[in-house]
Amino acid sequence: MSGSTFGKNFSVTTWGESHGKALGVVVDGCPAGIPLCEEDIQKDLDRRKPGQSFFSTPRKEDDKVNILSGVFEGKTTGTPISLVIFNCDQRSKDYSRIAGVFRPGHADYTYHQKYGIYDYRGGGRASGRETAARVAAGAIAKKILSQFGIQIQAYTLSIGHIKIDPGNFDSSAIYDNPLAMPDRKAAKKAEEYIQQLKEKGDSAGGVVECIVKGLPGGVGEPVFEKLDAVLGKAILSIGAVKGIEFGRGFEAAYITGSQNNDPFAYNQSNELVKKTNNSGGISGGISEGFPIVFRAAFKPTPSIRIPQQTVTREMQNMDLSLKGRHDPVIVPRAVVVVEAMTAITLVDYLFQRILSRIDLIKKALS
């Protein structure tokens, strides 16, 4: 299987399946000398791990990470960093009755078309559990970005039709409610909505918004490797993501140029500022030095109890009701996954920026 590696200067290769013995990742291109321990990675894994609330799957996984290589005496060595997370609470028997059944909304049918075989136990590589490896790699990328004062903050913007009120925005609320919403009133409404769906055997989708602060201008490559294009690739590679928009996004198609353009000005400190940020912090595929803002749309969890029509490999029609342990909504657990893929992308292209100018190369070598 190709397609399991992301990045050039800073590359990440994930491996493992939902019901296999373990998941893992190899990170190559991490500079030497960065302080790193398992606790640094575990903090983000704990934000993603299952079984922590009514709104996630009851599957219990500690998601404890083990560093196998690339770190010595608490610092990165510049060699590949290998991480492993062992699976502990698989219940493969829950899936035995659906062997040979193509689940609607899952990748069973397309994997069967491509490979002629697929792992029906939780979806194998197509499972959301694969993202644990991404989060582990993303934690390393965040450590690198922190050396430059670059911060990434993602949160749940909406669940179903329930959206946060910007007037109630409170960043501290992101970490004290199970839906990672920065609006406690909206979070309460969303919790009630999800509970109703769960009782019916249905599920919800939502939107994650991500903001990057501190990234300098000049990051991103023209034409085919624009920063918004590679961020789009990174975020769309997350299994449940069906769309992404930057800044004003699709709304820009319905307004005028005078409404969409971001006017420049110098403030009293002679600093260049923008009066608006409709571009989302990226122009011409290159970072402006202003906050990058984008939103990712997540589809509802496809594993639901409500009966659905489907077919088997033996060309039989049937009704399917899924009884396993599934999330009624995956959006809150995906927040840290969005941060991880953003961090991995930014490190890769931040390194590329250094290679684009001789003065930056000389500075790096001096």
CATH of the domain at 155: 3.60.150.10
What residue numbers bound the domain in which 219 lies? 5-365
Instruction: Please list, in sequence order, all residues whose beta carbon lies within 8 angstroms of the beta carbon of residue 88, skipping any fewer than 6 positions away.
Output: 60, 61, 62
pTM over 0.75: yes
In tens digits, what is the pLDDT along the chain, a chain of 366 residues?
688 999 999 999 999 987 788 999 999 999 999 999 999 999 999 999 865 655 555 556 688 999 999 999 999 999 999 999 998 865 556 666 777 899 899 888 998 899 888 777 767 788 888 999 999 999 999 999 999 999 999 999 999 999 999 999 999 999 888 999 999 999 999 999 999 999 999 999 999 999 999 999 999 999 999 999 999 999 999 999 999 999 999 999 999 999 999 999 999 999 999 999 999 999 999 999 999 999 999 999 998 999 999 999 888 999 988 776 678 899 999 999 999 999 999 999 999 999 888 888 888 787
Give the DSSP letter string of 256-322.
Answer: -HHHHS--EEE-TTS-EEES--TTTTEETTEE-SS-EEEEEEEPPPS--SS-EEEEETTS-EEEE--
Instruction: Please list, in sequence order, all residues whose beta carbon lies within 8 angstroms of the beta carbon of residue 16, skipping any fewer than 6 positions away.
Output: 22, 23, 24, 85, 125, 130, 133
Phi and psi at residue 257, in whole multiples of 5°?
A: -60, -40
25 phi-psi bin (left φ>0, alpha ψ -120 to 50, beta other): beta
Phi and psi at residue 276, in whole multiples of 5°?
A: -135, 170
pLDDT confidence of residue 52: 60
Please tell me the total count of domains within the chain: 1
